[in-house]
Amino acid sequence: MSRSVSTKGSLPDEMRRTKISFSWIILLVGVVLLAFLLVFVLQNLASVRIHFLTADFTMPLGVGLLLAAIGGALIAAVPFSARILQLRRATRKEHRWGPS
């Protein structure tokens, strides 16, 4: 089996970075962030009282802040998702009809 060497670098073609190798890096970064989140929640276990509309309950401070961050991310995702859908429709329409 011959190994072809790319002219751009010293690595063989089969050893260059791929999308799969990039996903492993993203996975590793995600695991590190989850470990930091776990440490944050475990260090903030003091109970706090939460008042939301008619609900009144207690929960650990770290869990409450984490839930608030997740809620904020979900709210922020709505306009971003709408923009992505808008761009996909425009691209699909341009692909069907050609450039104007």
pLDDT in tens, the chain (100 residues): 555 545 555 666 656 667 777 788 888 998 999 999 999 999 999 999 988 899 999 999 999 889 899 999 999 999 989 889 998 888 887 777 766 5
Question: 74-91 as b/e, with b when 16 or more CB fall inside 10 Å?
Answer: eeeeeeeeeeeeeeeeee
In a domain, 41, yes or no: yes
pLDDT at 52: 86
| Cα–Cα distance, 87 to 75 (Å, whole number) | 20
What tokens appear for 39 in the block?
């440490």
pLDDT at 59: 92
In a domain, 3, yes or no: no
In a domain, 2, yes or no: no
pLDDT at 75: 93
pLDDT at 9: 57
In a domain, 1, yes or no: no
Q: Whole-model pTM?
A: 0.59
Count other C-beta atoms under 10 Å from residue 40's C-beta.
13
Residues in the chain: 100
44 SS3 class: coil
**Number of domains into which the chain is organized:** 1
5 SS3 class: strand
- Write out the residue range of the structural domain in which residue 44 sits: 13-97
In a domain, 26, yes or no: yes
Q: What is the DSSP letter of 12?
A: B
Task: Give me the amino acid identity at 100.
Answer: S
In a domain, 8, yes or no: no
| Cα–Cα distance, 44 to 97 (Å, whole number) | 57
pLDDT at 49: 93
